[in-house]
Amino acid sequence: MNGPRFPAIYLVAFVGLLASAVAEPQSDADAPAVTPHPVEPKSEIAALSSRQYENAAERERAIVSAALADLEAVKRSPSPMTGWTAQLLLKAGRKEEGLAIVRSYIGDRIKEAKERIANHEKQKKAGTYKPLMLSNGLEWGEPHVNGFGLWSMINVYMRYQDQMDDQLKADFKWLFTSNTSWFGTTGNLSFLIPLNLYLTEKTWASSPMPKDGRYGARGEDAMKMFQKRIDYTAKRGSPEFASRPYMIYNIGTLLSFDNPFTDKELSRRATMAYEMSIAHAAGTWLNGNWATPAGRSYPGYVTQAPNGCADMLWAYFGGRTPKLGGNTTAVFSVAETWRPHPLIVKAATDRSNAYVHRSRFDGDRHFQTSFVNKTYALFSTAITHPATGRKTSIWGQTYPYGVMFDQPDASKSSICWMTVPCFDDQPLTNYTQGVSSRFAEYLQHRGSLLLVANDLTNPDFRPKVRTDLKGHKPFTTEGRYVLAYIPNGNHAVINDSQST
């Protein structure tokens, strides 16, 4: 079989990689202006979010204005993105405002950690403590600190520790060197947490880490893992590539290798892998819709106004304006110095001709296809099965097949998604819709997608009732069906001849 043909528009984006990889990073003088904001911040943020912006400069000004409009809300936010809002202030010389956000965030994480330690000791005294034993024979200690928040704060510390007082530096040191949770298994945490640990040990080299910690890749093993992950990301894409909640923690972390401790060659390769990822996303961007199969995502929340990690792409490429503020991933795109090459932006915005975009992320047996037109895009995932004949399943939290389309109303969904079967009882709610490829095969050619489903009555394939959701019913007792629907809209149901 011949290899896939990539459209010219995608290849054009690829050509720009080397050019921008060696380009000079944005200087502080080129950064968006930061100016104080008037009262009524919520109204100002809503107004900024309701407008459309013609170019990157306008978008960056809007992102910065919205991020800094309500600094009290930013200080209360648990979002890791507040670290980049603080960096905007520190870069602009608004030292006390920036450090106030950092102190608040670090203080909240320390409070959480100490509460966990106290609870840990209380359980021990009461005889109710049940230790979690690790493979190394040690027990998992405390405190367990949120890895996303540590990534945010170690970036602030590496870049702006010279502006911090001794007490704040001491708080940083306590939080990072007292943490014992240094191991992750998901696509994002398996990379982000070892990076946090690597930077922690480099930053506070004289402070030994807890012996009772739960450690993953460390030292030279971590460096080998970083090299392997960066190489894989450049060639195939990152795990959770198109995930709305987690994409930034898979690829945004690549920009954190630009630090005083990391070999410059590794840093350069990491930046190029980031650029490869953004260029790859450009091929499936459609005026705010990110029209590609996505794992670790929730179709019930997809609108043309981006949300989650799609915000960072909007900062680069434009489209329908998302809800702005100081805890969005768009702030990350502006606060970091990296900017996409014009050819990558062209690949994300020129929709004068329809084309096919192909991908190979999310596993060796997954083949993604997107057909991108002017106002809609059709996408699917093909899966090859092992020689044993056992079919590979796609896990939940995903939309591997569907259509995205122009929908100017940000309160309405811009995706029609397909699945067999579906947890469809509560669309647009905060839980995981599921799919199982054991029911179906999908075949796509350009703008045509064929779904073939069989064995729908096999009880082994039936979704389980979720005990964490009161009254949850994945589907009715006898209703096993193919479903294609727009969340919060009309349902289109196709049954076989034996169904009612």
pLDDT digits (tens, 9 = 90+) for 378-435: 998 877 766 665 555 555 567 778 899 998 888 888 888 776 655 444 443 334 455 5
Q: Determine contact, residues 444/380, Cβ cutoff 8 Å.
A: yes
Q: Which pLDDT does position 430 carry in this prediction?
A: 38
DSSP code at position 404: E
Q: Is the peptide bond before 293 cis (omega within 30 degrees of 0)?
A: no
Q: Which pLDDT does position 236 carry in this prediction?
A: 83
Q: Which pLDDT does position 136 carry in this prediction?
A: 57
Encode pLDDT of 198-209 as tens digits.
Answer: 999 999 998 888
Q: Which pLDDT does position 391 carry in this prediction?
A: 54
Indicate the pTM of the whole model. 0.82
CA distance 181 to 117: 13
Q: Which pLDDT does position 278 carry in this prediction?
A: 95
CA distance 335 to 60: 9
Q: Which pLDDT does position 466 carry in this prediction?
A: 61
Q: Which pLDDT does position 396 carry in this prediction?
A: 59
CA distance 98 to 84: 10
Q: Which pLDDT does position 214 carry in this prediction?
A: 80
Low-confidence ranges of the chain (pLDDT < 50): 1-26, 423-432, 475-479, 500
Q: Which pLDDT does position 384 carry in this prediction?
A: 73
Residue 448 tokens read as: 């045509």
